Amino acid sequence: MYKLLFMALMSAVFMSMYALQTDEELAMHTLFHGKHALNRAVHAAAQQNDQVKLAEGIHAIDESRARTVALQYLQANLRLDTANNPLPGTFLQDEVVVELFKIVNEGEVFPYTYTNSAYGYSVTLNRPGVIMFIRLQFPRTYTVLQPITWRIKCSAEMVF
């Protein structure tokens, strides 16, 4: 009888360990997917040339187009609606919050070092670029893990 009870107890332990491992794997895939989506969005934003300034020989980023393109890429890659809420039937369940969108343009002296001590982030840009932070929450599959929220940070420079 004690062997049967021990087997039932060990089955419960093994199932909870399996649930924990599954949640951890899904969490890492979600983090990487969010990082890649943000990376694509920031790189696309950094390539939005200001055509008027470019005609004058000045490399600069068109700020309104850069913001629009960054949000479009982020929404397409994470399958979000225009308010950054997940589309129905997608894996994410909570809004993706854009915490920072900063354009470092031709008015700065390069190399330009951006430091944000509140978020623990520092980057040196050698030409005009874009810096963007998002907050992404992991939708737990099981309740073994505590809720996870990431602040994903990324930057990209204009390529010319």
Most confident of 1-15, 108-122, 139-153: 108-122
Give me the number of domains the chain comprises: 1
pLDDT in tens, 39-91: 999 999 999 998 888 888 889 999 999 999 999 999 999 999 999 999 998 88
pLDDT in tens, 37-51: 999 999 999 999 988
CA-to-CA distance for 43 and 133, rounded, in angstroms? 13
DSSP states along 73-138: HHHHHHTB-TTSPBPTTSS--SPPEEEEEEEE-TTS-SSEEEEETTTTEEEEESSSEEEEEEEEEE
| pTM metric for this prediction | 0.84
**CB burial readout 102-136, b (16+ within 10 A) else e:** ebbbeeeeeebeeeeeeeebebebebbbbbbbbeb
51 is in which domain, residue-wise? Answer: 2-157
pLDDT in tens, 95-109: 999 999 999 998 899
Q: How many other C-beta atoms can be found within 10 angstroms of the C-beta atom of residue 87? A: 11
What is the percent of the chain where pLDDT is above 70?
99
pLDDT in tens, 110-131: 899 999 999 999 999 999 999 9
